[in-house]
A = this chain, B = another copy of it.
Amino acid sequence: MKIIEAKTEAVLIADQPETFVTRRIPEAYFEMGGIPGDRHFGITRPADSRQPMYPRGTKIFNRRQITILSAEECEEIADRLGIEEVLPEWLGANLLLKGIPALTSLTMGSRLLFPSGAGLICQGENLPCRLPGEVIQKMNSHHPKLAANFVKAADRRRGIVCLVERPGIVRQGDTVRIWVNDFARPLQ
């Protein structure tokens, strides 16, 4: 079992009713269900196009409580789009980590552990949707076709979703220890 360390570059919250875009905050208390006040907070959520096995709008368990991006993958997306930067805010991230370049490939069941004792469990790769591309387009209006190109540019670089396994506070600057789940000898 491998343990990796990374740094919490930013903590962010989606608390503006009209948008999924997040804003930076110095720290957040992660509860069972996510970050109170964040638009993805809750033990349940309505199924959407990502869960085609359920009718859209069905109340299902919420595994998309916390969205995490890596700084390295954001840079790769920007490079592929030919723009200077892609901010985690535009992609609706709750955490930006630095030091784990292939975050999106982190296996399901891996744990992310913070100094306060807070723990997250990886629930897999996030899938790029069109909406952040529209934000990036708006922020870079002189570049053509960013919205159209975003999904491809972000493929396998879109980070992960997690659920809160153990509540606690998470602060900007925190070192996070990542227990990587190895399917050959899985964590439970």
In the assembled complex, which residues on chain B have CB atoms less than 8 Å from the CB atom of A12? Answer: none
Chain A residues numbered 44-102 whose CB sits less than 8 Å from any CB in chain B: 44, 47, 50-51, 53-54, 58-61, 63-64
Chain B interface: which of A20-28, A133-141, A143-151, A162-170?
Answer: A162-170
Contact A111-B53, Cβ < 8 Å, known A127-B188, A188-B127, A188-B161: yes
1/0 contact string of A12-24 vs chain B (CB within 8 Å): 0000000000000
Contact B108 A166 (CB under 8 A): no
Of the candidates B32, B58, B117, B161, which one forms a contact with A44 in the assembled complex, judged by CB atoms under 8 Å apart? Answer: B32
Scan residues 118-159 of chain A and give those whose CB is less than 8 A from a CB of chain B: 119, 121, 123-127
Residues of B within 8 A of A59 (CB): 166
Residues of B contacting A32 in the complex (Cβ-Cβ under 8 angstroms): 43-44, 61
Nearest opposing residue in chain B for A126, CB measure: B188
Set B47, B108, B117, B127: member contacting A109, Cβ < 8 A: B108
A53 and B119 in contact, given A43-B32, A166-B60, A188-B126 (Cβ under 8 angstroms) = yes
Q: Is A179 an interface residue (CB 8 A)?
A: yes
Bound-complex Cα distance A53 to B64 (A):
22
Min distance, Cβ A42 to any Cβ of chain B, angstroms: 11
A113 part of interface (Cβ distance < 8 Å): yes
Residues from chain B with a CB closer than 8 A to the CB of A188 are: 50-51, 64, 124-127, 161
Q: How many Å lie between the Cα of A186 and that of B158 in the bound state? A: 13
Most central of A47, A117, A125, A166 by chain B CB within 10 Å: A166
| Contact assessment for A124 and B166 in the assembled complex, using a CB-CB cutoff below 8 Å | no
Q: Considering the chains assembled together, what is the distance between the CA atoms of A187 and B51 in angstroms?
A: 7
In the complex, chain B residues whose CB is within 8 Å of the CB of A187: 50-51, 53, 124
- Known contacts A32-B43, A61-B165, A127-B188; 5 additional CB pairs below 8 A are A53-B113, A108-B124, A109-B124, A124-B181, A124-B186
